[in-house]
Amino acid sequence: MLLLLLALGIVWRLGALDGRALSRLPWLGSPPSAPSHGGPNIILVLTDDQRWDTLAWMSTVSALPARQFTNAYATTQLCCPSRASILTGQYAHRHGVLTNGGSRGGWARFNPADTLAVRLQAAGYRTALVGKYLNGYLSTEIPPGWDDWFAINSPAAEHSGSYYYEYTINANGTVQRYGSAESDYSTDVLVRHVQEVIRADDPRPFFVLLATVAPHFQSGGGTNAIHAPRHTALFADLKQDHTPSFNEADVSDKPSWISRLPLLDLGAVANPDQHFREQVRSLQAVDEGIARLLADLRDLGKLDNTVVIFMSDNGLMMGEHRINRRKTCPYQECLRVPLVISYPRLTPGRVVDDRVALNIDLAPTLLDLAGLPIDSAIDGRSLLPLLRGEQPAWRTDFLAEAWGQDLPGQPDWAAVHSLGWSYVQHASGDLELYDLQEDPYEVENRAGDSAYAAQQARLASRLSEYLQARAAVARPLPTPRPAEESSPANGEE
């Protein structure tokens, strides 16, 4: 089966098939005739644009007996590339989905032939995608690897501007429409479907990807995140911490696309404090939904044999360095994400782990938990040794990368990031260097400072190593169509 998947991947990369054509090969995604694997059940809860510092307001997730990775990062800080990385364990430069849309990104550019779902299904897992798939998805097509497909259609593609109410779902090939009733609130709809999946009378272990819309702000940018009506009265006075980088007074040392930004109007409807508050409110339905799933697992006698992972696809700026509601930036607020892994057999209590974990680590971790091989096409590392309490040699830095404009004039960039330092090279030629121990909010850019010359040279050399390795495996970029060359490909979806 693995050789077949590799062969299909080669054919697809040569252009004989595209990602959506592969999804029409029914034999590739068909479930095994009989269960062949006794691995643990898996529920991966993936939120959308959730900052790591909102986790404290999720009581259920915060109380899980789990390993919480406090230094978890998205290698590409944008919905579609990060989700593709989670499904494949690959950097964006390898899987080739670099942006949310256009010729360099979106679901149409994704190759679904060899994903975590495909591999788990082939090993005997019952697989379910519930919620948001990849940006631009508006179809009745079902990618290979999924037994149960309950995917929200992309509002940007449908021009509806909605993910919380008045949306459509592709339910295993049939389009279902949801309205504006309280019961149509998307998080609740998705959780109810996951409950059906885990209650099903099926002896196979299950893998469920529950991908909520929350806490993303309303598509189209008109409003903040939408909370469930039952949570309206919560957190009325909540505000985010205004760190030294919040609405930064002097950004003259930042790249030109930031240094020309005006100070934020904190009285605007979409001001950062309001958006932070609405993020937290919208997450309450996610947290309650996880509590319901845990209760069902306990009642079914499946809790002890179920891995529950909670993560966001990327972070989000909320006023830092004058940037609001954007995410393809090389700063902590964009890079860092919440990551909590609970598996009663390995995490009987709460453990805080400060080692660096990445979005590309989820696929190899779950393959490892299922007893499946991890091949060289996967860039991430299994976190299973860390869950077991082992102390293996571990990464001390990682490559972060981004393409396309999230703000006017923003160039592509690449960075080497560690717990102590961040060094960024922008395609415009701008450089950034931050001492994260002395300057955790990245206010003082030390690039070009003679006192930091040795450190800058060391990090530049390390980034060069990453970029050379990237060039060896990167999927070739298509030539942008003229309309895309001057327009953002990342949008707000």
pLDDT of 482 strictly over 50:
no
Domain span at residue 16 reads: 2-396
Is residue 152 a part of any domain in this protein? Answer: yes
| Confidence at 17, pLDDT banded by 50, 70, 90 | very low
Closest CA to 166 of 220, 209, 130, 232: 220
> What was the pLDDT predicted at 407?
76
- Domain membership of residue 417 (yes or no) is no
pLDDT, tens digit (0-9, with 9 covering 90-100), for 294-322? 999 999 999 999 999 999 999 999 999 99
What is the pLDDT confidence band of residue 1, given thresholds at 50, 70 and 90? very low
CA distances from 493 to 47, 79, 122, 186, 434 (A): 13, 8, 32, 16, 30
Q: What gap in Å lies between CA 124 and CA 101, rounded to an integer? A: 33
- Total domains present in the chain: 1
The residue written with tokens 């909102």 in the block is: 54
pLDDT tens digits, one per residue of 204-251: 999 999 999 999 987 655 578 899 999 999 999 998 889 999 999 999
Could you tell me which residues come within 8 angstroms of residue 69 by beta carbon, excluding any fewer than 6 positions away? 339, 340, 341, 353, 354, 355, 357, 383
Q: Cα-Cα-Cα-Cα dihedral of 318, 82, 335, 464, to 10°?
A: -140
* Contact assessment for residue 172 and residue 149, using Cβ atoms and an 8 Å cutoff: yes
* DSSP 3-state of 368: helix
Q: Active-site residue 79, yes or no?
A: yes
Query: Is 441 inside a domain boundary?
Result: no
| Over residues 179-197, mean pLDDT | 97
Which pLDDT band holds residue 373 (cuts at 50, 70, 90)? Answer: very high
Q: Report yes or no on 318 lying in a domain.
A: yes
- 481 part of a folded domain: no
The residue behind tokens 């040699």 is 393
Q: Is 486's pLDDT higher than 60?
A: no
pLDDT at 385: 98
Residue 131 predicted with pLDDT over 70: yes
For position 490, what pLDDT does the model report? 53
Q: Point out the catalytic residue in the list 79, 80, 329, 334.
A: 79
- As a whole number of angstroms, the distance between CA 373 and CA 275 comes to 42
Judge whether 150 and 173 are in contact, CB under 8 Å.
no
Which CATH number does the domain housing residue 358 bear?
3.40.720.10
**Are 75 and 384 a contacting pair, CB within 8 Å?**
no
**Which position has the higher pLDDT, 273 or 465?**
465
Is 410 a domain residue?
no
What pTM was computed for the model? 0.90
Distance of alpha carbon 193 from alpha carbon 171, whole angstroms: 10
Amino acid making up residue 239: K
Flag whether 428 is in a domain: no
Contact 412, 404 (CB under 8 A): yes
AA letter at 362: L
Residue 432 maps to a domain: no
